[in-house]
Structure formats: structure tokens, C-alpha cells
Amino acid sequence: MSAGLLAGRSAVVTGAAQGIGFEIARLLREHGAAVLLADLDGDRAAAAAAELGGEALGTACDVTDEADMDALAAKAVAELGGLDVFVNNAGITRDASLKKMTVDDFDAVVTVHLRGTWLGVRAASAVMRERKSGSIVNISSLSGKSGNPGQTNYSAAKAGIVGLTKAAAKEVAHHGVRVNAVQPGLIRTPMTEAMPPEVFAEREAAVPMRRAGEPREVAGAVVFLASDLASYMTGAVLEVGGGRLM
């Protein structure tokens, strides 16, 4: 695959075995990038990479582990020939009200989303700054903009990713490295479709475009930020939410 916005470039996507992460990896491939799909479940990551075919590899990675994330960046360089794009997408949910949420539930979500993203930004930027180029894209959420009941942990983590994105962008801009974020809204994934139908319908009705988004629509924003079309953008946060919360 030689044509496309990202032809000849190498990319890493965390949490890429399914859902939005997989669609991001798929669209990066369609635009010519070689992609390393990372996931806590290495077998599923390998299967997802096989489905994409061509220059796609799968690997196990715990985004909360410093050594794993440093090794992930190194693996991209060793096996794909470089590291041009790094997408911090991995995440989990442990929803509960303030009254019922445990400290473990809070820590687990914040650790995966926020520490995981920080480790990814640090590992990727260490490689990219030496090459004086690169694009890091962090996946936040509109939950981090407005807050969702029952998601104090998730909303806090996703808001933190925005602050992290902006701070990191200022640190590495002079090295030619860009750091941006995407905030998806209501996206049709197995996680959201597991909601009670009436809850999903209520949230969908609140979207000005009157529909939930598709994972590929989030992926499109990521590809844009990863490409030279966004060459003068850093520290930006793109909302992909059908106009919700604008």
C-alpha cells in the first residue's frame, strides 16, 4: 500500500484489538502506514493485525507498565523501521456512583487512561524528538469535558488527558513533535450498545445530528491529526460528537 496520507510512515495504536482502536489501526493502514497494534491481550492484537494484513503487526502491551511502553516504542523502530505516529487509545471503564465506587475502581481507570497515556507520550516523544518529527494523538472523551454521572473516575481521567496533551505539546513542539487529542462523543461500540436501550436512545436524542457516531469517524480525525494536513496543529482537541456539548 503505497498511496495515502501516511504512505511510508510507521504507527502504533494502543488498545487496538477491537472497537475504536481497531478502526484507527485499519484507517491508518488504508492511508499507507505500517501499523503496530498493541493490546493487553496479545493474541487478539495478533489476530486483529492479521485481519488488516500487509504491514500490520500485533503485540501484547500493558500501557500501565513503564517497561512495556518503552519496549513498544522500541519495537516499532526495530520492526517497522521508525515511529512517526503514536495513538494512545487504550482504556477501561469501572462505572459506579460516588457512593458505590471503590478506590480500586477509581485507581484502575485513572491508571490505565491517564498514566497509560503519559507513558505513551513519554516513550513516543523520546524517539520522535531525536528525529525532529512525529505526531502523537491521545484519545480523550466528551465525558472529560462535561462529566458523566457514574463516571467520576473516567471523566477525571479523560479531562486529565486534555491537560497532559497541552502540556506535552508545549514541551516538544520545538523538536518538531506534535501532540493533539480527540474527544469522541456517543460512538456506536459494543460498550455503548450494552447500555439499556432507553438510555442509549436518550443520549442519542441529545446529539444535534440525531445519531451516534461510528468508530471509523473517530479514526478519520486521528488520521487527519497524524498527517501533514495537520502540520501546524499541536495542543489541539478535536471533538467528534455530532455537535453534542458545543
Residues 54-110 have pLDDT tens digits of 999 999 999 999 999 999 999 999 999 999 999 999 999 999 999 999 999 999 999
* Pick from 10, 32, 236, 61: nearest CA to 138: 236
Predicted confidence at residue 1, as pLDDT, reads: 42
Q: What percent of the chain has pLDDT over 70?
A: 99
Q: What is the pTM of this model?
A: 0.97
Q: Are 42 and 237 in contact (CB under 8 A)?
A: no
Mean pLDDT for the chain? 96
Predicted confidence band of residue 193 (pLDDT cuts 50, 70, 90) = confident
Q: Are 21 and 89 in contact (CB under 8 A)?
A: yes
Cα–Cα separations (whole angstroms), residue 205 to 21, 69, 79, 198, 209: 26, 39, 45, 10, 9
Predicted confidence at residue 9, as pLDDT, reads: 98
For the chain, list the strands marked E by DSSP. Answer: 10-14, 34-39, 56-60, 85-88, 134-139, 177-184, 237-240
Q: Are 179 and 121 in contact (CB under 8 A)?
A: yes
The mean pLDDT of 7-32, rounded to a whole number, is 98
CB atoms within 10 A of CB 96: 15
Predicted confidence at residue 3, as pLDDT, reads: 72
Listed by start position, the domains of the chain span: 10-236
CB atoms within 10 A of CB 230: 19
Q: What percent of the chain has pLDDT over 90?
A: 93
Predicted confidence band of residue 215 (pLDDT cuts 50, 70, 90) = very high
Is-catalytic flag, 232?
no
Residue by residue, what is the 3-state secondary structure of 229-246? HHCCCCCCEEEECCCCCC
What would you report as the CA-atom Rg of the chain, rounded to the nearest whole angstrom?
A: 17
CA count, 13 A, side-chain hemisphere, 73: 24
Q: Which one from 29, 154, 162, 244 is the annotated catalytic residue?
A: 154
Predicted confidence band of residue 191 (pLDDT cuts 50, 70, 90) = confident
The mean pLDDT of 219-244, rounded to a whole number, is 98
For the domain spanning 10-236, the CATH number is 3.40.50.720
